[in-house]
Homo-oligomer: A and B are copies of this chain.
Amino acid sequence: MRLAHRLDHIAPFQVMDILARARALEAQGRSIIHLEIGEPAEPTPAPVVAAGMAALAAGHLHYTTALGLPELREAIARHYHARHGVTVAPERVVVTPGSSGALLLALGALADAGGEVLMADPGYPCNRHFARFLDLVPRSLPVGPDSGFQLSAPLLEDHWSAKVQAVLLASPSNPTGTAVDRAGMAAIAELCRTRGAHLIVDEIYQELIYEPGYVTALALDDGAFVINSFSKYFHMTGWRLGWLVAPQWALDGLERLVQNIFLAPSTPAQYAALAAFAPQTLDILEARKEELRARRDYLVAALGALGFRVPVRPQGAFYVYADCTALGLDSQVLCAKLLDEAGVALTPGIDFGTHDAGSYVRLAYTVPLERLQEAVARMAACLGRG
């Protein structure tokens, strides 16, 4: 007996091996600083937890409608207006089981088997694996510091083929933390419109942009399919809740698909998420965002002193993608060395694609500043820069 061929293209995450090695070292009593995990260490904000507890107490535990609680879809739509000045009709918001669900839904609804989906290398590895799961052809275009590790309209044009059915952007990107600016996004949206391809934009780190000049794709293109999540900015990872904003014409098909493949998103998570937009929650989240910005500023500066190079200052998310060439080691070897000798876990570039992957590591600044400082001190000692 064998598994389906689509699995031949789905590689395990290298970071899982690193995590397993880190856990083994911890079991031996070693102290490990985890900079390999893309999950905020902070808890779900108290008002959100309280709303979840109230939903459980009230017995709000039956199925909701497939597209999600109407009041949550309205709250998300209001958020776009309040934060971004963008008008989104609530019926265009589809609540999904995590942004994973939103991405599966968007790719499944928009691209035929054999169709090509253009995306960036380096990029979030699940993106190409989702495409493979649906028998689409992910075409990962090499991007580097010159384009801010992002796709651009000229690059897409250079690689266009008649089989392209969708372009998948992530802004800000995992692993690079870099975002597509307004002009770049507008040009890509225009190209997709002209060529008749769908534009899918992963904006799960959209609320974690620390610089001006970056907008949601919905501000520029009503036809874009925009994915977002309650996991990152809203700190609701384990609840598994996200959303997709789609153009009006696609909603009927999306609803049919959601009814069949998900039935409905988690009910307690949806009730909890209603409190995610409350002013007292947003106060907590904005304070955490400031803390993240401070960590970024510290880490980018410190990495330079360690001999890494950060060719593009990340505008958002909680990642730094650092070039380790000057340290003289392949990034996988360097990650293994830093884990074993310094007790600092990083992710090698190979997890995010193949383009120049041996030259880069990803650091997730999801731990408090003092832990980051300790990690830097340990790496300095290990690398002889102490």
Show the binding face of A for B, using Cβ within 8 Å.
1, 3-7, 10-13, 16, 39, 43-44, 49, 52-53, 56-57, 59-64, 97-98, 100-101, 104, 108-113, 115, 125-126, 129-130, 133-135, 165, 196, 198, 223, 236-240, 247, 249-250, 253, 255-257, 259-269
Contacts and interface: CB of A to CB of B under 8 A. Distances in A.
Contacts of A62: 39, 237-238
A221 B130 CA distance: 31
A61 B43 contact: yes
A3 B237 contact: no
Contacts of A259: 12-13, 16, 126
Given A7-B256, A64-B238, 19 more contacts: A1-B250, A3-B110, A4-B115, A6-B113, A39-B63, A43-B61, A49-B57, A61-B239, A97-B240, A100-B261, A126-B259, A126-B260, A126-B261, A126-B263, A133-B257, A134-B135, A238-B267, A238-B268, A268-B269
Contacts of A135: 113, 134-135
B267 A112 contact: no
Contacts of A100: 261-263
Nearest to A57: B53
A250 B2 CA distance: 8
B240 A6 contact: no
A60 B238 contact: yes
Copies in the complex: 2
A260 B134 CA distance: 12
**Max count, chain B CB within 10 A of own CB: residue among A56, A60, A112, A264:** A56
14 contacts: A3-B250, A5-B112, A7-B257, A10-B257, A11-B256, A53-B53, A53-B56, A97-B262, A100-B262, A130-B261, A133-B257, A133-B260, A239-B268, A266-B269
Given A3-B110, A268-B239, A261 B196 contact: no
A262 B104 CA distance: 9
A63 B237 contact: yes
Nearest to A46: B59
A109 B262 contact: no
A196 B1 contact: yes
